[in-house]
Amino acid sequence: MFNHPIIARRHAIKLGLAGLLGMTTVTTTEAINRGRQTPVRYHPKRDFTVVGQASLKERAAAKGLIFGAAADKHILLNTLFANTFTKDCGMLVAENDLKWRTIRSNPHTFDFSKGDWLVKFARTHGMLFRGTPLVWELGLPKWFKKKVNHKNAERFLVEHITKVAKHYAGVVHSWDVVNEAIAVSRSKRSDGLSRSPWLEFLGEDYIELAFRTAAKADPKAMLVYNDRWLDYDTPVGNAQRAAVLKLLERLKSNKTPIHALGIQAHLKARETRFNAEKMRGFLKDVASLGLKILITELDVQDEGLPADVMESDRIVAAAYEDYLSVVLDEKAVIAVLTWGLSDRYTWLSRNSRRPLLYDSYFQRKLAWNAMARAFEQAPKR
Ligand code: GLA
């Protein structure tokens, strides 16, 4: 019925997703299911073959996409890691080196040394550079609590954004201007806004103020609103998508200079409640506001998977490919960025063994193939 190989693959993927939603029967790994609520599907014969020698950035670029990853200066000083990174990445994201706590060791000065090092590294290797975050409730320095209050919060916010965005104007591709403003599961407000110091001191308009200030400081950068928990068909996921969409609609109707949504996409290999139709609908709604979409912090937590590495690697790779094959169908999605590249350096090390594309010795894993295959299937932008 599906003679064209791509159509056949897509159909197979849709069937696979239907399977994830419980509509077809697939092999289930007993080891995972015993005593657990959500089954993880394991396909021992699933094909992760990749054709050709091209790097991920080349495969992405062939479809008009950007592939990149987050890293900090101290890990890029490892030359083996840096070589792996520059081979595959078309974009370097500052993982922690541009957070408030890194550049603001005291209320009066700004230390751009690590960020500048990253910019130089990106330039030397022909990579785009991306900054995150200008405004966030976390990642703040210790002095923040003592120093910032109702009276001076606006001055601190405007000063920080202006100084930092101006410093990197012309070299930065995009900024997460505001990160994680919405936390439906923790918020008592109907708009789902998280109880951050910025909300407490400035009210909900801090978000708009942040975007307007960033646009003034760097009129060329792509300005992004970045958030999490947007991926699954769960009560939190559904409410978070609705709240984020409302916020974006409000910002757009106020003519706020915002250009894109960042979807963090910290996925969980054991979470099967992914609903392709809901995700497609959400992406379409965002795109119809005239916004681009970036997948900004992709990784796959492998907590609770079988001890067998080959088996758990297959499940992780499937999670990458199944998610991306849906998301990349939306042409407003312009970039896929992973939160780290090698399992040696990951924020997930407390609960995951192998969440990224390369192992701790910088060897490619099946997740790398999954990424390459997702780019292969993606329609051209
Ligand atoms: C959030 C933030 C990132 C990073 C990760 C993990 O997703 O947006 O900057 O801190 O948490 O640490």
Look over the chain and give the mean of its residue pLDDT values, rounded to a whole number: 91
Residue 60 lies in a domain: yes
Question: Which range has the worst mean pLDDT, 16-20, 56-60, 253-257?
Answer: 16-20
CA 48 / ligand 1 centre spacing (Å)? 29
Exposed/middle/buried for 108, CB within 10 Å: 0-12, 13-18, 19+?
Answer: exposed
CB 71 within 8 A of CB 86: no
Candidate of 103, 226, 264 to mutate for ligand 1, largest count of ligand atoms within 8 Å of Cβ: 264
Residue 182 lies in a domain: yes
Domain extent, residue 324, equals: 56-377
Catalytic residue list contains 271: no
Find the residues whose C-beta lies inside 6 A of ligand 1: 132, 179, 228, 264, 297, 347
Check residue 34 and give its pLDDT: 41
Average pLDDT over residues 256-273: 97
Residue 14 lies in a domain: no
Residue 10 lies in a domain: no
Residue 20 lies in a domain: no
DSSP for 198-262 reads HHHHH-TTHHHHHHHHHHHH-TTSEEEEEESS-SSSSHHHHHHHHHHHHHHHHHHHTT----EEE
Per-residue pLDDT tens over the stretch 76-101:
999 999 999 999 999 999 999 999 99
The CATH number assigned to the domain holding 252 equals 3.20.20.80
Per-residue pLDDT tens over the stretch 308-340:
999 999 999 999 999 999 999 999 999 999 999
Return phi, psi of residue 366, to 5°.
-60, -30
Helix, strand counts (H, E) of the chain: 15, 9
Check residue 41 and give its pLDDT: 64
pLDDT of 5 strictly over 60: no
Residue 4 lies in a domain: no
Check residue 198 and give its pLDDT: 98
Q: How far apart are CA 83 and CA 215, in angstroms?
A: 34
pLDDT of 306 strictly over 70: yes
CA 235 / ligand 1 centre spacing (Å)? 22
Check residue 3 and give its pLDDT: 36
Check residue 35 and give its pLDDT: 38
In ligand 1, the atom with minimum distance to the C-alpha of 297 is 7
pLDDT of 341 strictly over 80: yes
Check residue 346 and give its pLDDT: 98
Say which residue the tokens 């409730």 belong to: 137
pLDDT of 2 strictly over 90: no
Average pLDDT over residues 359-369: 98
Q: How far apart are CA 114 and CA 95, in angstroms?
A: 11
Confidence grade of residue 45 (pLDDT, cut at 50, 70, 90): confident
Check residue 40 and give its pLDDT: 59
Confidence grade of residue 242 (pLDDT, cut at 50, 70, 90): very high
CA 345 / ligand 1 centre spacing (Å)? 14
Average pLDDT over residues 258-278: 97
Cis omega (within 30 of 0) on the bond before 39?
no
Per-residue pLDDT tens over the stretch 196-235:
999 999 999 999 999 999 999 999 999 999 999 999 999 9
Check residue 379 and give its pLDDT: 98
Check residue 26 and give its pLDDT: 36
% of the chain residues with pLDDT over 70: 89
Candidate of 226, 240, 347 to mutate for ligand 1, largest count of ligand atoms within 8 Å of Cβ: 347
Catalytic residue among 137, 297, 303, 330: 297
pLDDT of 248 strictly over 70: yes
Residue 228 lies in a domain: yes
Q: Name the pTM for this structure.
A: 0.90
In ligand 1, the atom with minimum distance to the C-alpha of 95 is 9
Q: How far apart are CA 63 and CA 191, in angstroms?
A: 36
Whose alpha carbon is nearest atom 12 of ligand 1? 347
In ligand 1, the atom with minimum distance to the C-alpha of 136 is 8
Domains in the chain: how many in total? Answer: 1
Confidence grade of residue 14 (pLDDT, cut at 50, 70, 90): very low
Residue 118 lies in a domain: yes
